Amino acid sequence: MNSSKNSSGGRHQGKKKPQTNTDKKFEPKKFDAKKKPQTTTDKKSEPKKFDANKKPSGNFRDKPAFRRESPFSKKARPISGEERPTPKPKQVKQEDGVEGIRLNKYISNSGICSRREADVYIKAGSATVNGKLVTEMGHIVTLGDEVRFDGSLINQEQKRYVLLNKPKNYITTMEDDRGRKTVMELIASASKERIYPVGRLDRNTTGLLLFTNDGEMAKKLTHPKSNIQKIYHATLDKKLANSDLIKISEGFMLDEKRVIVDDISYVVNQPKTEVGVKIHSGRNRIVRRIFEHFDYSVVKLDRVIFAGLTKKDLPRGHYRHLTEMEINTLMML
């Protein structure tokens, strides 16, 4: 009797027809510079709306976050804000029991370069400790040691993280022999420590630019494998055709390399010359080159979000120091 019921039930289930929907039409997504970006799994035909000026809702300490690890890893678990300690330089001990840190970490902490780069410089003979050339990996530096890099004395500095809303007509460089205005002029009084721009923005591109003396952080935020997302607001010389928007969203070949954007949409309630682009590629002038490839010129380009940081309450030409929460968030990327 049981087998009869099961087989009967199977026949009834087999009669169900899959539901199909052929009435859906493609509608371009909308990019709203005045409304908050929302994430949803509801696949409706309504355009998505983004907010380029407001910070995503929610509190860093209220929502769990996951490390980018395999779901089968024991480490891939929710982490509350209270469990996120501020990373500290790893302390190692010499044979005589005196504590110190490795030379490459010491150089990295000074803001000169990353630890990996420091290893290369050390091996090349760029570092001395107490007047002696050091080329061995893993050399320990202790309190009171005199460390020089290329002949210049270096010291441990407090880490600084400064966010600038870059205006137009400033170039991203430490100095310019042609006398042009540089971004360093805008943050000259931000820190007594020497800080450096993370990545770069073109002279005519405006928006968010981060500065720091944390070599490890700068390396992570600019490395392609980190997939750091940026959102740009582009103003074009003519309306972006819907067919071109679709081609860009699907990906295309540029200089024999495939270009993939994370998202692209029109700005809501604005002419179709106003376009929002979310991208993680760090290729030089990539946003301008994307539109040039389809015969458009970018009249204005503004970076409104960088690695989760926004322009909210940050006027053009001004800067601010990152909060402890923002720094911790960057360290967890």
Q: Residue 125 belongs to a domain with what CATH number?
A: 3.10.290.10
Single pTM value for the model: 0.60
Cβ burial, residue 109 (10 Å; 0-12/13-18/19+): buried
Give the pLDDT mean for 111-121. 86
Under the banding of pLDDT at 50, 70 and 90, the label for residue 207 is: very high
Please enumerate in sequence order all residues whose Cβ is within 8 A of that of 186, keeping only pairs 6 or more positions apart, or say none.
164, 166, 167, 170, 317, 319
Domain residues for the domain of 195 are: 157-226+316-333
Residue of 197, 221, 213 lying closest to 332 (CA atoms): 221
As a whole number of angstroms, the distance between CA 195 and CA 42 comes to: 44
Q: How confident is the model at residue 28 (pLDDT cuts 50, 70, 90)?
A: low
> Is residue 248 a part of any domain in this protein?
yes
Helix (H, G, I), strand (E, B) or coil at 143: coil
Q: State in Å, rounded, how far the first CA of the chain is from the last one.
A: 59
Residue 143 and residue 252 share a domain = no
Predicted confidence at residue 259, as pLDDT, reads: 92
**Residues 118 and 216 reside in one and the same domain:** no
Distance from C-alpha of 59 to C-alpha of 43, rounded to nearest angstrom: 26
Q: Of 308, 300, 227, 214, nearest to 260 (Cα)? A: 227
pLDDT given at position 182: 96
145 and 206 together in one domain:
no
Annotation marks residue 262 as catalytic: no
Within-domain flag for 148:
yes
Determine the pLDDT at residue 41.
47
CA–CA distances in Å: residue 333 to residues 142, 197, 224: 30, 19, 13
Question: What is the pLDDT, as a whole number, of residue 33?
Answer: 58
Residues 236, 97, single domain; the answer is no
Asked if residue 45 has pLDDT above 90, the reply is: no
Q: Which two tokens stand for residue 224?
A: 């392609």
Q: Does residue 40 belong to any structural domain of this protein?
A: no
What is the Cα–Cα distance from 193 to 213, expressed in whole angstroms?
A: 7
Cα 70 to chain centroid distance, Å, stands at 21
The domain total for the chain is 3
74: in domain? no
Please give the pLDDT value at position 153: 85
Instruction: Pick the catalytic residue from 42, 96, 177, 202.
Output: 202
Question: Which of 115, 136, 154 marks a domain boundary?
Answer: 154
Decide which of 67 and 106 is more confident: 106
Per-residue pLDDT, 194: 86
Q: Is 4 a domain residue?
A: no
The mean pLDDT value for 300-309 works out to 96
Please report the beta strands in 201-241, taking only residues with DSSP state E, as ranges in sequence order: 205-212, 230-236
Same domain for 322 and 191, yes or no, is yes
Q: Are 110 and 123 in the same domain?
A: yes
Residues 288, 164 share a domain: no
Output the CA angle 262-263-267, nearest 5 degrees: 155
pLDDT tens-digit map of 148-187: 999 888 877 788 999 999 999 999 999 898 999 999 999 9
Please compute the mean of the pLDDT values over residues 294-301 and round it to a whole number.
97
Q: Are residues 293 and 186 in the same domain?
A: no
Residues 298 and 246 in one domain: yes
The larger pLDDT score, comparing residue 112 to residue 292, is at 292
* The pLDDT of residue 108 is above 90: no
Q: In this model, does residue 76 exceed pLDDT 50?
A: no
Q: What single letter denotes the amino acid at residue 280?
A: H
